Amino acid sequence: MEYNKLISVTGMSGLFEMVSSKNDGAIVKSLEDNSTKFVSSRVHNFSHLESIEVYTIRENVNLADVFKAMESSTENLPSEKDPAATKAYFQKIYPDMDFDRVYASDMKKMVKWFRILKANDVKIELTEAPEEAE
């Protein structure tokens, strides 16, 4: 499974692999229970994980950079149900994060998604953009 094929769907919990896209939606496969279903683009929005950015006190960073920091950290993952512990965790592993603009619900989602990625042995790496000819 490749990181660049993973998406988040508004209104639906977890992460999904895009199997196929259609004019009116997409066929997605859940990484949690491996169920496959059609999701209408009229009702839901899709966000590729590669395109999600996180606010920092400097320039925004890609979500993959935060996941890599989580991966290389020796800290234990916090419980998603404890917002204070989750915030403390991110203050230790990614202190540049802008905690005024990144909400507790966002941090909770990052922890949940990271657990899903690890459970599915997904290698967290961005697709390289092709070099443009001069």
Type of residue at 26: A
> Rounded to an integer, what distance in angstroms lies between the CA atom of residue 90 and that of residue 65?
13
> Rounded to an integer, what distance in angstroms lies between the CA atom of residue 47 and that of residue 15?
10
> Rounded to an integer, what distance in angstroms lies between the CA atom of residue 116 and that of residue 134?
41
CB of 68 closer than 8 Å to CB of 94: no
pLDDT band, very low/low/confident/very high, at 80 (cuts 50, 70, 90): confident
pTM of the model: 0.88
Give the model's pLDDT for residue 132: 52
Type of residue at 85: A
> Rounded to an integer, what distance in angstroms lies between the CA atom of residue 18 and that of residue 36?
10
